[in-house]
Structure 1
Amino acid sequence: MTMTWTSFTCDEPDFAVRSIPDGVVFRVRRSALENSEVFRDMFICCEPGTDPLLDEALDLHETAQVLSALLHLLHYPPEPPIPTGPAICVSDNAPTSNTNFNRECLLPRIPLYDSRTVIPLPVLQPILFDLVDKYGLSVNIFQVLCSHLLAHAPSHPLRVYGFAASFEQIYHRRRSRATPSSANEEKQDLFGIQFGVSAEKEMETQMRKIASKAIQFLEPIGSYSMTEVEDSIPSVKALHRVVQLQHIRVKTLREILNESEIFPKGYGACPSHCEKTTECWDRQRKAVAGKIDSGTDVAGEMELFVDTLKECRVCHKAGVAAVEMLAYMCYRLPRQAQHLAKLT
């Protein structure tokens, strides 16, 4: 079912909230509003016996559309997006041998979701995440929104990466301003875990993971316009993280390719075509090395050459083995920012 964020109703309302700009009154459940730290604190501060009546409304400076989205989050917290089938993605575990090696299992894959269950990116960012931050929504709601944000990473990597990096910085600055005493005195009850310092640490961690994963889907950073980069990436540090990872990947991919051999140390050499095949491999290798970028499928480029060796069974077998080794070596190169330290 397609999610709707522009209108709101609920069963058994016992409270009212009014949009000041639009004058629209929403009937709500007070218990649902307590999923917000802001509303929870407000209710706690109310004197006993002075609970607002049903016909009294809490006025908020939000448009009806934004307020509707907030009330949806509080009353009907979203579920994670629903996968449409097995994700076409790289396994987290590298193969331990080349037995029955399938190069395709090493290619980057994209998770697929039912689009009707994925919250649209313009609704997520900035509307829903801004509401989470402004009204102090629980970390559980935040985590589900993160799963929706990550679902957009393959198709909108620059926007997702930039937003996650900016959110990560906001929460890091906020936590750094917290005094040691306030952090130590925080109650580690359910409320503290959902809304307190611990929750903010978890939110920062979640956004760091999203930024790290989104970076693998980015095109070479030079392929984006200046406007796209300025509008999406929040800081020089965040931009440098991308440039550094892509630079090191290009450098390392080129090194791996330049060191590859079709007949390593003469192993499996064809007695009839060894010299000619080696020369052709080297020529193709140099051609590919000259056009490598951070997302180049090096093994796939070399596989095109191997297809020309089918007339000789020995040469073709050696070429397939060399491409499989290339794919394995390239697969081991980290694509995510969290693994950047392994390359430096």
Structure 2
Amino acid sequence: MPSSTSYGAGCDFIIRSIDGTQFRVRRDCLEAGSQVFRDMFACCEPDFVTDMYGDDQALDLTEPSVLLDLLFRFLHSPPESYVADETDEEDADSVASFTRIRVVFPGSAIPLPVLSVLITLADKYALSQPLLQCLYSHLAAHASTSPLRVYGYAIGLGLDSIAAKASMYLLHPPLSEYSPEEVKVIPTADAYHRLLLLHDHRIKALREVLIGESIFPHGYGQCVKHSQTTTALWEQRKRVVAQQLQAATDAAAEMAEVQTKLDACQTCSKACTAALSMLDYKCGKVLKRVDQLAPEVSIGRSS
């Protein structure tokens, strides 16, 4: 006897997988969620029947049972769309560096390996727009924990807003640290190039902000006794940090080392605090998503 799976009360049709499992399903659920199943059932009425089990019509599909079970569970009991925490979104978009962008673990989202299979099935079986939007919302929920995969999937599906969100979490590590196998998830050279442009632009912009920031801007807060020594410490540290900048560098945090050397002078310490705060603010304004890049931006040329 072939194995059989049922999806609750009201099942009125049998679909059989390529490996022989029989699935008792509700036609209304399948028709409501899938254009392909609507077309299949239209072929079965009133005269066409592919197989018969007692009084039940049956339809053979070429999918293995594990995939059909996943699809049918989704069609019979679709989850709610994933709703992101707006506070997390706002926080992530305002901070200066990747190191302080909040990683949100989507505990209630569909696991990414399952989601990728469902998205493939959704395309093959032409799932309804509400079901697609549900899947896409769950995909977006994984942007901070699996940004490269989400970016690649989103690009392939034409989901620009989700790809842009994921790109914000791809500031670290440097793109050169990904293996060829990992990068293959990005389906187009243009999409990979946009990430390169984002990193290149941020490094240049952060360096420009850093080099231009003075510890005593226009002489404000200047300590008469230690100004030369303090300025020398600040400028020396700037040169070091500027040479080490990456797309995700927290420039203000790297410059904070100067503060530890100014404890003996309250005036200099206060000026350093103000300078670090201003540096952090300016760095926070540097773009951090691919959708913020100007169309004409290219590597090797400042925008």
- Report the TM-score range of the alignment, normalised by the length of the smaller protein: 0.7 to 0.9
- Which residue does 1:222 correspond to in 2? 176
CA shift in 2, pair 1:208/1:89, >3 Å: closer
CA contact (8 A) 2:11 2:24 kept: yes
- Which residue does 1:110 correspond to in 2? 103
- Which residue does 2:278 correspond to in 1? 325
CA contact (8 A) 1:90 1:109 kept: no
Displacement of 1:93: 7.9
- Which residue does 1:15 correspond to in 2? 13
Aligned length, in residue pairs: 286
SS of 2:72's equivalent in the other structure is helix
Q: Deviations over 1:284-315 (max 9, x none)?
A: 11111111111111111112322332332211
CA contact (8 A) 1:87 1:111 kept: no
Unaligned runs of at least 5 residues, structure 2 = 298-302
Percent identical pairs in the alignment equals 42
1:41 equivalent in alignment to 2:39: yes
RMSD value, Cα: 2.7
- State the distance in 1 between where 2:288 and 2:254 align: 19
The aligned runs of 1:274-313 (5 Å cut-off) are 274-313=227-266
- Which residue does 1:160 correspond to in 2? 150
The aligned runs of 1:1-344 (5 Å cut-off) are 9-20=7-18, 22-34=19-31, 35-48=33-46, 55-81=56-82, 88=88, 90-91=90-91, 107-114=100-107, 117-125=108-116, 127-168=117-158, 207-218=159-170, 219-229=173-183, 231-341=184-294, 344=303
Q: Deviations over 1:59-100 (max 9, x none)?
A: 1111110001110121111224477x8865543786xxxxxx
Amino acid at match of 2:109: V
CA shift in 2, pair 1:300/1:339, >3 Å: same
Length-normalised TM-score, structure 1: 0.76
- State the distance in 1 between where 2:36 and 2:120 align: 14
CA shift in 2, pair 1:48/1:56, >3 Å: closer
CA contact (8 A) 1:18 1:24 kept: yes
Displacement of 1:228: 2.0
Length-normalised TM-score, structure 2: 0.85
CA contact (8 A) 2:106 2:142 kept: no
CA contact (8 A) 1:87 1:110 kept: no
CA contact (8 A) 1:89 1:108 kept: no
CA contact (8 A) 2:7 2:76 kept: no
CA shift in 2, pair 1:288/1:149, >3 Å: same
SS of 1:58's equivalent in the other structure is strand
Q: Deviations over 1:111-130 (max 9, x none)?
A: 2432xx222221112x1100
CA contact (8 A) 1:19 1:61 kept: yes
Amino acid at match of 1:33: L
- State the distance in 2 between where 1:227 and 1:42 align: 38
